[in-house]
């Protein structure tokens, strides 16, 4: 019995009927004007309803997703708590908040630079979006490529809004990052002669995507986590940071943690702090499902904003074009862009191609939404509509066994639910994947707040307003390493004064003065899926 409904099977017959004629077809890319129009009409970032203008804080007057605004202008978890800041629970040189790829890379470099480092995380080491990254990591290390070419691709994809110094750091350090990861033990896909296998991603002019099958992030996390353990860096798990601390000079000087076990607050004094808390997919902007890890609730943005750090492009959200739309058990999960980069085509309910499979992500997502919502060419799937991703084409193009070899994770994920992607196309729709914006940093990864460094998805500006595939696994390594090195260096020059949380009270007073009613408790820490029902 098929896992698909009868209506789906009827539409699937159209996909099968047109498959041979689509093979090898030349597909035009959208013009610049067409892209602009598509984005304005169909990309969720242009929905007025989805955003709110901030009334307080460093980005007052700018719009951000309503769900994020509620937290940025929410009530601090520690607002009513009595915390003795003289009672120091941990005293370190460098405090790293977050235990994904960026936090781990930062810890490795800070430790090697001689700092006394500690990682704290709200879940466990490696519970992060890094672990969920599939398709690969970009780096211009092939003879026909260069960091300059990589820069141009990312700059165009980012709508020319990337901060030039940050993008330069990213692309120049790309080949070094691959080398660093390889030497630590990451098993990148290689040809028989040892050269790296590289593929295209959306918006790339060269094949520079290095991958470990379709579990690239998990493989990278495996290796950097091992190195953190080997170096003896302490990791405090189930202990989320909930607020930053300053000293009387105004420098960032530590953080308050919430110990999940005891529900007590703990005080960490630190000469420098690295924020590596990741993304925000679990805030489910505009009701979208997400490909993100359970802990992606924008905590770093909230803590940094309340302490006075400006954000940049916080209104630029990435919806990955191909999230699972069916079956329900994996709704919203990522179908890696690699599936398209090795030959699968996006096809509508009539079996027609409607776009080049490797447009940049914002354009691809908008085009899929248009096909479904405005042109009526979607397929009914669960409570929504979806389009086909024609995966059997991959083996017709590259031969039997390609799917098992290049995207084994995808194959296994769907087989569990009775769908063989070698033989049947799959149903997809955009899923909330990435925050393009975040905390503003300089090329040394330091925010506008002295003593606060940032790395990974919590950073804004590297990718402009639309990141290209594979530049996120790269940025966590490049900026994680820079943050670790620079935070350790800065820590050598600093002695921390008396700790305070005055900024929390000051922010509260600003909210009151702006007439903002006592809001949601923030940071959120974990998403709630009980829909009003308490867990028993």
Annotated catalytic residues are 320, 340
Minimum CB distance to ligand MEZ smaller for 346 or for 496: 346
Given 367, 391, 472, 485, the residue binding ligand MEZ (CB under 6 A): 472
Minimum CB distance to ligand MEZ smaller for 117 or for 410: 410
Residue nearest to ligand MEZ (CB): 135
> Which segment (92-100, 134-142, 177-185, 444-452) binds ligand MEZ by CB under 6 A?
134-142
The structure tokens 């090329």 sit at: 443
Asked if residue 136 binds ligand MEZ (CB under 6 A), the reply is yes
Minimum CB distance to ligand MEZ smaller for 272 or for 291: 291
Shortest distance (Å) from residue 80 CB to ligand MEZ: 39
Residue 329 neighbours by CB under 8 Å, 6+ apart? 416, 417
Minimum CB distance to ligand MEZ smaller for 134 or for 371: 134
Minimum CB distance to ligand MEZ smaller for 126 or for 523: 126
Asked if residue 469 binds ligand MEZ (CB under 6 A), the reply is yes
Shortest distance (Å) from residue 439 CB to ligand MEZ: 19
Shortest distance (Å) from residue 134 CB to ligand MEZ: 4
The tokens for 111 are 């430790």
Binding mask 84-123 for ligand MEZ (x = CB under 6 A): ----------------------------------------
Shortest distance (Å) from residue 429 CB to ligand MEZ: 15
- Bridge-based pairing of strands 265-275 and 90-97 is parallel
The tokens for 53 are 């203008």
DSSP-derived 3-state class of residue 357: coil
Given 38, 133, 280, 301, the residue binding ligand MEZ (CB under 6 A): 133
- What residues are paired with 200 via a beta bridge? none
Q: Could you give the CA distance from residue 296 to residue 434 in angstroms, rounded to a whole number?
A: 10
Tell me whether residue 242 is exposed, middle or buried, using C-beta atoms within 10 angstroms of its C-beta: 0 to 12, 13 to 18, 19 or more. Answer: buried
Shortest distance (Å) from residue 10 CB to ligand MEZ: 29
**Binders of ligand MEZ in range 338-367 (CB under 6 A):** 338
Count of residues touching ligand MEZ (by CB under 6 A): 10
CB atoms under 10 Å from CB of 184, counted, come to 15
> Which segment (184-192, 221-229, 457-465, 469-477) binds ligand MEZ by CB under 6 A?
469-477
Instruction: Please state, in angstroms and as integers, the Cα–Cα distance from residue 277 to each residue in 60, 69, 280, 305, 476, following that order.
Output: 23, 18, 9, 14, 11
**Binders of ligand MEZ in range 473-492 (CB under 6 A):** none
> Which segment (60-68, 133-141, 147-155, 231-239) binds ligand MEZ by CB under 6 A?
133-141
Question: Do residues 406 and 342 make contact, with C-beta atoms less than 8 angstroms apart?
Answer: yes
Minimum CB distance to ligand MEZ smaller for 71 or for 223: 223
Tell me whether residue 518 is exposed, middle or buried, using C-beta atoms within 10 angstroms of its C-beta: 0 to 12, 13 to 18, 19 or more. Answer: exposed
Minimum CB distance to ligand MEZ smaller for 427 or for 488: 427
At residue 68, φ and ψ (nearest 5 deg) are: -75, -40
Minimum CB distance to ligand MEZ smaller for 93 or for 362: 362
At residue 365, φ and ψ (nearest 5 deg) are: -65, -45
Shortest distance (Å) from residue 406 CB to ligand MEZ: 12
Shortest distance (Å) from residue 308 CB to ligand MEZ: 30
Return the C-alpha torsion angle 180, 183, 189, 195, nearest 10: 90
- What residues are paired with 214 via a beta bridge? none
Given 45, 127, 134, 486, the residue binding ligand MEZ (CB under 6 A): 134
**Binders of ligand MEZ in range 319-338 (CB under 6 A):** 336-338
Shortest distance (Å) from residue 291 CB to ligand MEZ: 8
> Which segment (91-99, 163-171, 273-281, 466-474) binds ligand MEZ by CB under 6 A?
466-474
Minimum CB distance to ligand MEZ smaller for 471 or for 485: 471
Given 470, 480, 484, 523, the residue binding ligand MEZ (CB under 6 A): 470
Q: Could you give the CA distance from residue 6 to residue 505 in angstroms, rounded to a whole number?
A: 59
Sheet of 198-199, strands arranged across: 137-138, 209-210, 198-199
Helix (H) or strand (E) holding 379: strand 379-381
Shortest distance (Å) from residue 481 CB to ligand MEZ: 18
Question: Do residues 121 and 236 make contact, with C-beta atoms less than 8 angstroms apart?
Answer: yes
**Long-range CB contact pairs, 411-417, < 8 A, 24+:** 413/330, 413/333, 416/329, 417/3, 417/327, 417/329, 417/330
- What residues are paired with 23 via a beta bridge? none
Q: Which residues bind ligand MEZ (CB under 6 A)?
A: 133-136, 336-338, 469-470, 472
């Amino acid at each position: 019995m098929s896992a698909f409904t009868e209506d789906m099977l009827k539409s699937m017959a159209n996909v099968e009927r047109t498959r041979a004629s689509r093979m090898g077809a030349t597909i035009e890319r959208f013009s610049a004007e067409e892209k602009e129009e598509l984005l304005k009409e169909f990309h969720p970032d242009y929905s007025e309803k989805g955003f709110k203008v901030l009334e307080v804080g460093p980005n007052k007057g700018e719009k951000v997703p309503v769900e994020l605004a509620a937290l940025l202008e929410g009530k601090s978890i520690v607002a009513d708590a009595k915390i003795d800041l003289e009672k120091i629970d941990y005293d370190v040189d460098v405090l790293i908040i977050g235990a994904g790829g960026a936090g781990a890379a930062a810890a490795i470099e800070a430790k090697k630079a001689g700092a006394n480092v500690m990682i704290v995380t709200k879940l466990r080491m490696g519970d992060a979006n890094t672990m969920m990254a599939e398709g690969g990591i970009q780096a211009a290390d092939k003879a026909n490529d260069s960091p300059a070419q990589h820069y141009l691709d990312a700059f165009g994809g980012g709508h020319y809004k990337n901060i030039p110094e940050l993008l330069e750091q990213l692309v120049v350090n790309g080949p070094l990052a691959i080398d660093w990861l390889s030497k630590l033990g990451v098993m990148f896909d290689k040809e028989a002669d040892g050269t790296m296998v590289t593929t295209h991603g959306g918006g790339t002019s060269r094949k520079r995507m290095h991958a470990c099958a379709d579990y690239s992030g998990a493989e990278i996390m495996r290796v950097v986590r091992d190195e953190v353990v080997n170096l003896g860096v302490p990791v405090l798990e189930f202990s989320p940071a909930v607020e930053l601390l300053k000293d009387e000079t105004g420098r960032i000087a530590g953080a308050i943690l919430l110990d999940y076990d005891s529900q007590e607050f703990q005080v960490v004094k630190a000469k420098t702090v690295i924020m590596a808390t990741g993304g925000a997919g679990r805030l489910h902007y505009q009701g979208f499902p997400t490909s993100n890890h359970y802990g992606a609730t924008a905590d770093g943005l909230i803590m940094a904003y309340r302490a006075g750090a400006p954000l940049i492009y916080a209104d630029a959200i990435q919806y990955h074009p191909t999230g699972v739309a069916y079956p329900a058990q994996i709704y919203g999960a990522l179908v890696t862009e690699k599936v398209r980069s090795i030959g699968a085509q996006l096809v509508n309910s009539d079996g027609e191609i409607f776009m080049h499979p490797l447009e940049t992500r914002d354009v691809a997502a908008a085009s899929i939404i248009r096909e479904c919502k405005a042109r009526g060419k979607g397929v009914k799937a669960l409570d929504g509509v979806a389009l086909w991703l024609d995966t059997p084409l991959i083996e017709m193009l590259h031969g039997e066994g390609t799917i098992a070899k290049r995207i084994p994770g995808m194959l296994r994920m769907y087989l569990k639910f009775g769908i063989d992607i070698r033989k049947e196309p799959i149903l997809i729709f955009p899923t909330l994947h990435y925050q393009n914006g975040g905390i503003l940093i300089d090329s040394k990864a330091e925010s506008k707040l002295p003593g606060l460094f940032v790395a990974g998805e919590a950073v804004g500006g590297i990718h402009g307003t639309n990141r290209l595939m594979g530049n996120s696994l790269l940025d966590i390594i490049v900026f994680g390493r820079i943050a670790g090195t620079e935070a350790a260096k800065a820590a050598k020059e600093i002695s921390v004064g008396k700790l305070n949380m005055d900024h929390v009270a000051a922010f509260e007073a600003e909210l009151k003065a702006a007439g903002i009613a006592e809001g949601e408790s923030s940071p959120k820490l974990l998403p709630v899926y009980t829909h009003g029902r308490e867990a028993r």
